[in-house]
Amino acid sequence: MKTRINLYASLLALTILAGCSSSPVYDSEPDTTEIDNTAVKTVQVESVEVEIVPVVIDVPTVFYFDFDKALLTAESRADLLEHAVVLASNSRSVRLEGHADERGTREYNMALGERRATAVKEFLVMQGVAGDRIEVISFGEERAAAYGSDDEAWRLNRRVELK
Amino acid sequence: MIFLRQCSILLIALFMGSSAYGELVIRVTEGNDQPTIIALSPFDLKDIQIDEDIAAIVEADLRRSGLFELIPRQDMLAFPTKPSDVYYRDWRLLGVEYLVVGSMGLLPDGRYELEFSLLSINSQKLQFTHKVRSTAGDIRNLAHSVSDKIYKSITGIRGAFSTRLAYVSVIREGDDFTYRLQVADADGVRESLMLESKQPIMSPNWSPDGKELAYVSFETGRPAIYRQNLASAKREQLTAFKGLNGAPSWSPDGSTIAMVLSKDGNPEIYSLELASGALTRLTRHFAIDTEPAWMPDGKHLLFTSDRGGTPQIYKLKIADRSIERITFKGNYNARASIAPDGRTVAMVHRSSSVFHIAALDLKTRRLIELTETTLDESPSIAPNGAMLMYATKYDDRGILAAVSIDAGVKYNLPAKQGDVREPAWSPFLR
């Protein structure tokens, strides 16, 4: 009850104060703000690592690209021709993981990583590998192969890994 | 009141030593040239036990905005706690333009009530008196609410101190990664964990009511879009299409999430109506189309596309799918974040070989660079349009930084460990 009386007293004081000044009127806004509870709960997820059987072959399995480009180099095409021959002789599925360097935006780099992996897939399909045996996934700039912000690290990160 | 007033000064002295305990530590690097000089007389706490120094939180908020200079307590000649105790002359001598006074009370239900007043010293006027109430656990929100009121009264702009930040933090140990989706108060304090995963988490985006986040998680080994409620941790997987599932962007009315999917062979913008699950394809082009961002009218989207040869920002009218290019300066413009007035667009902009954050005025077409660091990305404009948060690199680590929309005010929020990235500034929360 005491608090209530004090509240009325302060309201009265407020009215008096407002009355003796010509300051801006705040009548339109409530004179009390109630703060709500804002606690945050946590979710823990068991993340799944996709099972990958390493490709055991004496041909490079990483293919590199220019900045903001998805064109295969002559070297990559030569290596992929050998992969296509091996893939034609077995029934193994492959996964092409596309990556970008850290420059530029994260979601654009996701799209760029996919475009690079798709370029590799299309090359393999042209060589006769069935498209449904090839999974394309992009990690954008989320999984760097080399750390640091220099040309060499960036070069190593603009890549597609065949797994 | 029956409480002893003498206790308050001692309590304040004790609390002045308390330091920030959040994961992010703010450093103001640049401020306004002509800040408003304001003094916060320590609030009369009666003998109420409070673990936070409310006035110090308010002072830090105002200082961080770059628009205010705070008078140190030791320079004050008196600590008035109500307007009738204020001797205007004392404050005018100190050069003070505005003074805040106030006192705490305890409500019958155990909550706290702070009654505070803002006084203009020059015109010797009471600007307003206001009360804020909260539980003990929300004292920091109470303090930020005080900052909001003061900021609004002096600048005419709604304060954004009571808002939050969502961001992704990453800790790498060898080949082992821990990704965390975090939420903290706008001052970086009271960091809470929403989601932890060994696989990438990306692209947090707030629902317009500030109660949920949409984001991308690779926890299944492939990217998928989720929505998650902050208070209940209720979580729903929205997409798991073949290929890209990315860049979720919640519509202003909360009914729809725009996103990028490549299920039809190429990254395109789609909209997902949440109630019905209806998916509508909005773009059709062999180029990359990504990073949709809603205009405040809910009728247009900005998005990034390299259909012109380099990544640029385009505007899509949803009604007829017509598309208009809006950026022309620079060879890389991407990831638009739109101010609440619908006129200013922040983006990642490359001039020569470095990536800055730039702001484009859609009316005058003037583009200004706001940052000078390199590798700046993920701009996110505050709901009052005054500042934006972005990610950059400092000492080879990912940190968050903020800059005012006129580039005059800057501060950093370096993390204590790991990399921090992809800040998303919440909408107004009440």
Class of domain B164-425: mainly beta
Q: Looking at this protein, which amino acid is placed at residue B296?
A: P
Confidence grade of residue B5 (pLDDT, cut at 50, 70, 90): very low
Q: A100-104, B12-16, B85-89, B218-222 — which is least confidently predicted?
A: B12-16
Q: In what order do the strands lie in the sheet with B354-361?
A: B333-338, B344-351, B354-361, B367-369
pLDDT number for residue B180: 95
What does the pLDDT profile of chain A (163 residues) look like in tens digits?
Answer: 344 434 444 444 443 333 333 333 344 556 888 887 678 888 877 777 767 666 667 899 999 999 999 999 999 999 999 999 999 888 889 999 999 999 999 999 999 999 999 999 999 999 999 999 999 999 999 999 999 899 999 999 999 999 9
Q: How far is CA B151 from CA A22, A50, B36, B144, in A?
A: 20, 51, 11, 10
Q: What is the pTM of this model?
A: 0.88
Q: CB–CB of A42 and B193 under 8 A?
A: yes
- The pLDDT assigned to B373 comes to 86
Q: For position B13, what pLDDT does the model report?
A: 30
pLDDT at B152: 97
Q: Which residue from B183, B233, B267 is facing A43, i.e. has the nearest CB?
A: B233
According to the model, what pLDDT value does residue A29 have? 58
Q: Which of B153, B288, B421 is opposite residue A115, by nearest beta carbon? A: B288
Angle in degrees, CA B235, B190, A32, rounded to 5: 95
Which of B196, B288, B313 to mutate against chain A (most A CBs within 10 Å)? Answer: B288
Nearest by CB: A103 against B132, B137, B355: B355
State the average pLDDT over residues B254-272. 97
State the pLDDT at residue A20. 38
How far apart CA B412 and CA B215 sit, in angstroms, is 24
Least-confidence region, from A89-98, B235-244, B291-300: A89-98
| CATH pick for B7-155 out of 3.40.50.10070, 2.40.50.140, 3.40.50.10490, 3.40.50.150 | 3.40.50.10070
Q: How far apart are CA B24 and CA B311, in angstroms?
A: 32
Give chain A positions within 8 Å (CB) of B1: 6
**What pLDDT shows up at residue B401?**
95
Is the pLDDT score of B38 beyond 70?
yes
Q: Answer yes or no: do B141 and A35 touch at CB < 8 A.
A: yes
- pLDDT per residue as tens digits for the range B395-423: 888 999 999 998 888 999 877 778 999 99
- Report chain A residues whose CB lies below 8 A from the CB of B290: 107-108, 110-111
**Closest CB to A43 among B194, B218, B350:** B194
Looking at residue A30, its pLDDT comes to: 65
Chain B, nearest residue to A21 by Cα = B125
> Which residues in chain B have their CB less than 8 angstroms from residue A32's CB?
130-133
How far apart CA B326 and CA B308 sit, in angstroms, is 12
Cβ-Cβ contacts under 8 Å, A6 against chain B: 1, 105
- Per domain, the residue ranges of chain A are 62-162
Contact B218, A47 (CB under 8 A): yes
Residue B291 to residues A6, B138, B213, B216, B365: CA-CA distances in angstroms?
Answer: 54, 35, 16, 13, 21
| pLDDT band, very low/low/confident/very high, at B147 (cuts 50, 70, 90) | very high
Q: Say whether A24 and B128 touch across the interface (CB within 8 A).
A: yes
Listed in order, the ranges of chain B carrying CATH 2.120.10.30 are: 164-425
Partner residue opposite B311 with nearest CB, options A42, A108, A110: A108
CATH of A62-162, one of 3.30.1330.60, 2.60.40.150, 3.30.230.10, 3.90.650.10: 3.30.1330.60
- By residue count, chain B amounts to 430
pLDDT confidence tier of residue B252, bands split at 50, 70 and 90: very high
Q: Long-range contact list for B299-307, CB < 8 A, 24+ apart?
A: B301/B249, B301/B258, B301/B269, B302/B326, B302/B336, B302/B338, B302/B345, B303/B269, B303/B336, B304/A105, B304/A107, B304/A108, B304/B333, B304/B334, B304/B335, B304/B336, B306/A68
Asked if A38 lies within 8 A of B217 by C-beta distance, the reply is: no
Higher confidence at residue B214 or residue B30?
B214
Where in chain B do CATH 3.40.50.10070 domains reside?
7-155
Q: Do A106 and B378 touch (CB under 8 A)?
A: yes
CA distance B272 to chain A (A): 18
